[in-house]
A and B are shown apart, each in its own frame.
Chain A
Amino acid sequence: MRLQYSSNIRIIEMPCSGTIDHRVLLQAFEDGADGVFVAGCMEGDCHFQKGNYRAKKRVNAVKKLLDEIGLGGDRLEMYNLSAAMGPRFAEIANEMTERIRQLGPSPLRKNKAGTSRKEGDVA
């Protein structure tokens, strides 16, 4: 197909959009992403029945959280497309890139990060 889409996109593969977790999305922003989009399967086409619907709910919850903490929920979006929809993927990648360009770089990148440490499992 030789479709072109913005080269600034880094793809992180997940076994199913239903495995998306609030922590993974927040980590992407903490690690310096200007924007994140979750590409789940078409609604009604989930191999695991409800994975993409669950992803959508979580994405919406994190969008709300991003608004609350001042980063802005517009930097995160959920899209539904199948693995066979290459042109649509390129279109979304460009659309999201354009949206983030208008919002500007993540304000987090200007400031130094605080460290975090997780102390094992349940104590």
Chain B
Amino acid sequence: MIIAQQKPIKDIAAMIEDCKKVLLVGCAGCVTVCLSGGEKETEVLASSLRIMRRLQGNPLETVTITATRQCDPEYIEPLENLVKDVDAIISLACGVGVQYLAERFHDKWVVPAQNTMFVGGSRTHGVWEERCGLCGDCILHRTGGICPIIRCSKSILNGPCGGSQYGKCEISKDVDCAWQLIYDRMKALGKLDKLMEIQPPKDWSKSRDGGPRKAIREDVMIG
């Protein structure tokens, strides 16, 4: 899922300081699962902003709703009636949701309540870890299911480097050396010989180096 963290409330309040009425739109997708932008967080943010503005003697009117997903036009379409009389829309989705709202309601001031951080998973309740670098050319079959692109601080393809000490990365004792993990796993699987194949430089054009990406499936297109 996409992991996002809410911006400091003061920063969000500053973005809507001129507004009298705002629509807060939560997202029931990834940000609900990572507990940063779902129905509950949307209500808490709305209440916090109302209290802040009331303390300043400048009351704020809020309308809240949580869309099934903000990254699908069909789920933001029903917001049209709510958007009409608000001065701004605060999106609690990832950056995709903010952009989809801004694109659909192009005459409205749409602001992000979140910092979109990474693609990852839950380690334990309340802890999320980055697990995919979205490189566009997966190599996990060669590395024992451990991604060196995102879990190695240098994203090297033929590791480990000299900064690997006792299984940890030189950047922090809290960061595992991905290549140590890869070696241990390949050894346990009896596939160490696979690591002897030298990997050529990666084709980064399939990642962000090729500019914004688009995925097309003609077989599922309608019309």
Could you tell me which residues of chain A, from 58 to 73, have a CB within 8 Å of some CB in chain B? Answer: 65, 68-71
Residue contact B64 to A69, C-beta cutoff 8 Å? no
Of A110, A111, A123, the residue contacting B79 (CB under 8 A) is A123
Please give the number of chain B residues whose Cβ is less than 8 angstroms from any Cβ of chain A in the complex: 32
- Are the CB atoms of B9 and A68 closer together than 8 Å? yes
Taking a contact as CB atoms under 8 Å apart, the answer to whether B44 and A114 are in contact is no
> By the criterion CB–CB under 8 Å, are A119 and B82 in contact?
yes
Please name all residues of chain B whose beta carbon is closer than 8 Å to the beta carbon of A70 when the two chains form the complex.
51-52, 55
B63 and A123 within 8 A (CB): no
A23 touches B61 (CB 8 A): no
Q: Write out the residue numbers on chain A whose beta carbons fall within 8 Å of the beta carbon of B52.
A: 69-70
Chain A count of residues within 8 A CB distance of the other chain: 28
Q: Are A113 and B47 in contact (CB under 8 A)?
A: no
| Contact B55 A107, beta carbon cutoff 8 Å | yes
Alpha-carbon gap, A118 to B62, bound state (A): 8
Whether, in the assembled complex, B43 has its beta carbon less than 8 Å from a beta carbon of chain A, the answer is yes
Most A CB contacts (10 A, CB to CB) among B43, B46, B47, B59 go to: B47
Question: B66: which A residues are within 8 A, CB to CB?
Answer: 121-123
Selected contact of A113 from candidates B10, B28, B50, B64, CB within 8 Å: B50
5 new A-B contacts at CB < 8 Å, known A113-B54, A122-B39: A23-B47, A68-B8, A69-B48, A70-B55, A110-B57
A-B contact pairs, 10 of them (CB 8 A): A30-B54, A68-B8, A68-B10, A69-B9, A70-B51, A114-B60, A116-B62, A119-B63, A122-B68, A123-B67
